[in-house]
Amino acid sequence: EAGVTQFPSHSVIEKGQTVTLRCDPISGHDNLYWYRRVMGKEIKFLLHFVKESKQDESGMPNNRFLAERTGGTYSTLKVQPAELEDSGVYFCASSQVSNPSSYNSPLHFGNGTRLTVT
Amino acid sequence: LAKTTQPISMDSYEGQEVNITCSHNNIATNDYITWYQQFPSQGPRFIIQGYKTKVTNEVASLFIPADRKSSTLSLPRVSLSDTAVYYCLVTEGDTGRRALTFGSGTRLQVQP
């Protein structure tokens, strides 16, 4: 079974530019999450998709961040325009099923995208 | 969400048993306790999850006392490859909201 894959693994952009991160979850996983670790701080939740719908986007820092999951498969996270404080590692995770009784199914994480904004 | 507290770091030697305790005094009735392991340049990896008493799998054991205000991850006979950061999380069982913050984790260093 292929794991969660993220692309690119590294990205270096200049302040003001746009970057799009991609996440391919494990096939069949309805739940998809984005997390990030900024400047060596703790890993924090950004948002949660159930299939193509945003279930919880309370962790999105501001409107420069846009996440999509068209068709309920892969997801993209766009940062436009990027700022210096956006530098960090962005993790994607997925988990099985979407019925309430299985909400505690383990998260499977990708290896992250390291974003550097200069 | 219940806040978790765990030691910043621990040291051990190969072959020893390692116990990492996590405090979660404000855990709610429907919350679960989950532990993840993270190696450098990788995403966190699920180790074990429990609700109460004891859970064991091929990797670790998780001990949860009756009051559930703490939990202990037990790694039997650690090896050098167990050197990693270990995170304790509390997950809301009702809503499915995932722990919004992983916390600082416990950095385990295993020496020969």
A100 or A17: which carries more pLDDT confidence? A17
- Confidence band of B88 (pLDDT split at 50, 70, 90): very high
Distance CA A11, CA A13 (A): 6
Check whether A102 has a pLDDT greater than 70.
no
Least Cα separation, residue A52 to chain B (angstroms): 17
Residue A99 has pLDDT above 70, yes or no: no
Domain B9-111 bears CATH identifier 2.60.40.10:
yes
Q: What's the pLDDT at B30?
A: 82
Does B55 lie at the interface with A, CB-CB under 8 angstroms? no
Q: How far apart are CA B34 and CA B71, in angstroms?
A: 10
- Strand-strand pairing, A113-117 and A10-13: parallel
Other C-beta atoms lying within 10 Å of the C-beta of residue A45: 23
B104 CB-near residues (< 8 Å, 6+ apart): A42, B6, B8
Across the range A14-40, mean pLDDT stands at 94
pLDDT reported for residue B43: 95
Note the pLDDT of residue B93.
Answer: 64
Percent of chain B whose predicted confidence (pLDDT) is above 90: 73
Sign of the Cα torsion A39, B85, B27, A98 reads: positive
Q: What pLDDT was estimated at residue A72?
A: 86
Q: Which residues of A touch B (CB under 8 A)?
A: 4, 33, 35, 42-45, 48, 55-56, 58-59, 91, 93, 100, 103-104, 106-112
Q: pLDDT tens across B40-79, in order?
A: 989 999 999 999 889 999 999 999 999 999 999 999 999 9
User: Which has the higher per-residue pLDDT, B26 or A24?
Assistant: A24
Of A55, A52, A33, A30, the C-alpha closest to A44 is A33
HEC-encoded secondary structure of B40-59: CCCCCEEEEEECCEEEECCC
Which has more confidence, A40 or B111? B111
Domain ranges of chain B: 9-111
The CA distance from A24 to A93, in Å, is 9
Q: How far is B51 from chain A (nearest CA, A)?
A: 11
In which residue are the tokens 């992250």 written? A112
What confidence tier does B101 reach under pLDDT thresholds 50, 70, 90?
low
Q: Are B102 and A42 in contact (CB under 8 A)?
A: yes
Q: Is B11 left (phi over 0), alpha (psi -120 to 50) or beta?
A: beta
| Residue B87 pLDDT greater than 80, yes or no | yes
B75 touches B10 (CB < 8 A):
no
CATH superfamily ID and name for A5-96+107-117: Immunoglobulins (2.60.40.10)
For B100, name the nearest residue in chain A, comparing CA atoms only. Answer: A45
CB contact set of A83 (below 8 Å; sequence gap of 6+): A15, A64, A117
- How confident is the prediction for chain B on average, in pLDDT? 90
Whose tokens are 């621990």? That residue is: B10
Q: If pLDDT is split at 50, 70 and 90, which confidence band does A100 have? A: low
Name the token pair of A95: 């988990």
Residue for token pair 């994480």: A109
pLDDT at B94 over 60: no
